[in-house]
């Protein structure tokens, strides 16, 4: 997707101590604008830290991570999503002492460990950070990405994953039996599949203070739209920020990720044709047209037994969105049919804020027959999310 359509993820180099700000899990960044939640990427040389950051937040194709140079000093990446993040890509030799700020200012440590590296060194370094974090900031999130997982066959993968967890836990227990209680989260990841996105999304969920409100908005949307699954995605990184209460199955998650990737790649082709004249985009399922007045006819698909006349999918969303976000916006909505056979499923995409999109599975008959009501529910959902984001921004001092 073109850089103009979304705020860019900027990079600054390290490393001045910055003032402490505990509220909302964030700390005012050195640029002075907004309190950013800090995430450290730690691990030995060549573990894959920069690859994780670049693939997620700079759209680097996984194969090109091969050409990344060694990180020699901390690089901070500002990422604007539902919460403002600052991701610190640290060199392999960084220690608690050379970090430049106390761990009390860090929200989460992600320790990246190569799955084939079962030896002493990475585990010692991880344990060193866990012990320091436990003393300085017991609330810190501790996440371990057991990375490059695609390199091993399934059985070896599971065995190595288990061994790494066991060794970390043994080393911690050698130091103190109290470490039995410590909350450490292990994830199998690879830049070559969706596991990295899924793992990082789960890390992010723990950092979003407004998550329960977003989940509730998604639950209401699903109930009123007969949707079996809906996600709120960060468009550019393709991380999901929240989902409804039904369980996430990887296949659905991966499908949504791939659809976003496709839209992001083709987005510029459909870009705005002029101020205030957004082009309707539904590349795979062209919408029937109708009056936007039908959008207001009933608040909920499920509460209406009748089929509403179909309506232009973005009649209201397009207007609201283009008013709010100006002419840079494109792709206000799109949809694709997943199973053409009846009853069929349709995957829909709706832009919610400049960074966030709603992706939802819908029965095709609902999508085709009750489009107006769907759009009505999207408008409610969008207003709710925008309000939550606004509150979050004000609390962090950015609004
Ligand atoms: N097979 C595989 N290789 C990966 C993966 N992620 C990263 N790599 C490779 O690992 C190597 C090191 O990646 P980097 O991202 O530079 O590692 P780093 O931890 O930032 O390294 P330093 O900057 O030296 O600390 C590169 O050749 C990447 O292509 C992965 O998921 N699978």
114 CA from centroid of ligand 1 (Å): 9
- Of 87-101, 185-199, 285-299, 376-390, least confident by mean pLDDT is 285-299
Mean pLDDT value across residues 367-392: 92
Question: Domains, the chain, ranges and CATH?
Answer: 3-205 (3.40.50.300), 211-396 (3.30.450.190)
pLDDT at position 9 over 50: no
* Ligand 1 atom, smallest distance to 69 CA: 16
140 CA from centroid of ligand 1 (Å): 25
CB-based contacts of 52: which residues, under 8 Å, 6+ apart? Answer: 41, 110, 112, 145, 147, 189, 191, 196, 200
ipTM of the complex: 0.99
| Position 275 confidence tier, pLDDT thresholds 50, 70, 90 | very low
Neighbours of 216 (CB within 10 A): 15
What pLDDT is attached to residue 65? Answer: 95
* Lookup: tokens for 334: 């799109």
Mean pLDDT value across residues 265-273: 66
* Lookup: tokens for 315: 């009649």
Q: In the predicted model, what is the mean pLDDT of the chain?
A: 79
- Of 143-152, 233-242, 263-272, 341-350, least confident by mean pLDDT is 263-272
**Cβ atoms 297, 308 nearer than 8 A:** yes
Rg (CA), the chain: 22
What pLDDT is attached to residue 336? Answer: 87
* Ligand 1 atom, smallest distance to 64 CA: 29
Residue of 46, 52, 77, 149 best suited for mutating to test ligand 1, as the one with most atoms within 8 Å of CB:
46
CB-based contacts of 230: which residues, under 8 Å, 6+ apart? Answer: 218, 221, 222, 243, 244, 358, 359, 360, 361
Q: What are the pLDDT digits (tens) for 23-79?
A: 344 444 444 567 899 999 999 999 999 999 999 999 899 999 999 999 999 999 999
Choose between 77 and 9: higher pLDDT: 77
231 CA from centroid of ligand 1 (Å): 29
Nearest to 225 by CA among 65, 53, 373, 21: 373
Neighbours of 284 (CB within 10 A): 12
- State the DSSP code for 189: -
191 CA from centroid of ligand 1 (Å): 9
Mean pLDDT value across residues 225-233: 96
Q: What are the pLDDT digits (tens) for 181-222?
A: 889 999 999 999 999 999 999 999 999 999 999 999 999 999
137 CA from centroid of ligand 1 (Å): 29
Indicate which residue's Cα is closest to atom 25 of ligand 1.
45
Q: Which amino acids bring their CB within 6 angstroms of ligand 1?
A: 43, 45-51, 65-66, 68, 70-71, 91-92, 147-148, 150-151, 190-192
Kindly write down the DSSP assignment for every residue of 80-117, as one continuous string: ESSSEEEEEE--TT--TTTTSS-GGG-SEEEEEEETT-
Mean pLDDT value across residues 287-293: 32
* Ligand 1 atom, smallest distance to 55 CA: 6
What pLDDT is attached to residue 168? Answer: 93
CA distance 169 to 220: 41
Choose between 58 and 282: higher pLDDT: 58
Nearest to 129 by CA among 162, 106, 161, 148: 106
Mean pLDDT value across residues 85-114: 94
Taking every pair of Cα atoms in the chain, the longest distance, rounded to a whole number of angstroms, is 70
pLDDT at position 316 over 90: no
What pLDDT is attached to residue 310? Answer: 29
């Amino acid at each position: 997707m073109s850089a103009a359509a979304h705020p860019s993820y900027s990079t600054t180099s390290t490393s001045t101590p910055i003032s402490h700000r505990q509220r909302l899990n964030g700390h005012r960044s050195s640029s002075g604008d907004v309190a950013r939640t800090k995430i450290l990427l730690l691990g030995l040389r060549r573990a894959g830290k920069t690859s994780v950051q670049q693939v997620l937040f700079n759209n680097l194709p996984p194969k090109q991570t091969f050409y990344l140079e060694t990180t020699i000093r901390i690089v901070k990446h500002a990422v604007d999503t539902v919460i403002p993040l600052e991701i610190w890509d640290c060199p392999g030799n960084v220690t608690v002492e050379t970090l430049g700020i106390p761990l009390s200012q860090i929200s989460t440590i992600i320790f990246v460990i190569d799955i084939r590296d079962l030896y002493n060194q990475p585990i010692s370094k991880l344990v060193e950070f866990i012990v320091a974090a436990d003393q300085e900031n017991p609330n810190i999130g501790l996440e371990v990405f057991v990375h490059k997982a695609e390199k091993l066959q399934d059985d070896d993968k599971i065995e190595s994953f288990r061994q790494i967890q066991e060794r970390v836990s043994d080393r911690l227990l050698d130091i103190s039996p109290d470490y039995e209680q410590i909350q450490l989260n292990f994830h199998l990841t690879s830049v070559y599949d969706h596991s990295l996105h899924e793992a990082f999304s789960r890390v992010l969920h723990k950092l979003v203070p407004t998550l329960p409100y977003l989940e509730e908005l998604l639950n209401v949307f699903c109930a009123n739209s007969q949707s079996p699954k809906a996600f709120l995605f960060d468009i550019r990184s393709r991380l999901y920020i929240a989902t409804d209460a039904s369980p996430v199955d990887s296949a659905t998650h991966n499908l949504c990720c791939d659809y976003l990737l496709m839209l992001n790649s083709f987005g510029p082709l459909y870009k705005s044709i002029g101020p205030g004249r957004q082009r309707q985009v539904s590349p795979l399922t062209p919408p029937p047209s109708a009056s936007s007045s039908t959008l207001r006819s009933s608040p909920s698909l499920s509460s209406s037994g009748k089929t509403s006349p179909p309506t232009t999918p973005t009649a209201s969303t397009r207007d609201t969105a283009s008013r709010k976000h100006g002419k840079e916006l494109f792709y206000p909505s799109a949809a694709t049919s997943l199973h053409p056979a009846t009853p069929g499923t349709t995957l829909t995409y709706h832009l919610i804020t400049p960074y966030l999109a709603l992706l939802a599975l819908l029965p095709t008959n609902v999508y085709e027959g009750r489009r107006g009501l769907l759009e009505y529910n999207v408008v409610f959902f969008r207003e709710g999310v925008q309000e939550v984001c606004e509150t979050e921004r004000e609390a962090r001092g950015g609004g």
